Amino acid sequence: MADSLRTGGTSLPIGSDADLAWVRQEVRQAAAELGFSLVQQTKLVTAASELARNTLVHGGGGELEITRLDRGSSLGLRLCFTDNGPGISDIELAMTDGYTTGGGLGLGLSGAKRLVPDFDLVTEPGAGTTITVTAWVYTVPSARLEAP
């Protein structure tokens, strides 16, 4: 994203269940500070929770990099989940609703993709997985209160 200006990033380790709670808190705080609406915040935090759990369970741990984006007209948040795990051999299958290898509902990856506007997955068997999601603050025009 050439037009976006990186304004500071933080890196969080993902190595235990406690780290997942930490990730959720940090993402929620970053999203709130940037002015994301409550619904957007909730979606972003939930997506982060799913992806961080994937990093932990399937990737054997990794890290999350939170980057605040500024492209002048609007602010955004980029979350980059990286692990050095076994990678995903069949992306299409992994993205299918209900497909799971971890005993969950099989909605983590596909659900997270639906929750964020921009979802990018890079993986190679044996070389780990990197998932980058980006969301921009959009403001709904407020209802007009003027008298008819």
Return the biggest CA–CA distance within the chain: 64
Euclidean distance between CA atoms 96 and 133, whole angstroms = 18
Query: Side chain identity at 21, as an amino acid letter?
Result: A
d(CA 47, CA 121): 14
Shortest Å distance, C-beta 7 to other proteins: 26
Beta strands in the chain (DSSP E): 5-14, 62-70, 75-83, 118-123, 129-136
- Per-residue x/- mask for other proteins, residues 99 to 118, rule CB under 8 A? -----xx-xx-xxx-xx---
- Taking CB under 8 A as the binding criterion, the range among 1-9, 14-22, 67-75, 85-93 that sits at the site for other proteins is 14-22
Interaction of residue 93 with other proteins, rule CB under 8 A: no
Selected range binding other proteins among 17-25, 66-74, 122-130, 132-140, rule: CB under 8 A: 17-25
Q: Would you say the C-alpha torsion 105, 52, 49, 137 has a positive or negative sign?
A: negative
Judged by CB under 8 A, the residue of 1, 5, 21, 93 near other proteins is: 21
Minimum distance, C-beta of residue 119 to other proteins, in the bound complex (Å): 12
The contact mask relative to other proteins for 29-58 (x = CB under 8 A, - = no) is ---------xx-xxx-xx--xx--x-----
CA angle 128, 103, 42 (to 5 degrees): 75
Q: How far apart are CA 96 and CA 146, in angstroms?
A: 48
Q: Could you list the residues that contact other proteins (CB under 8 A)?
A: 17, 20-21, 24, 28, 38-39, 41-43, 45-46, 49-50, 53, 97, 104-105, 107-108, 110-112, 114-115
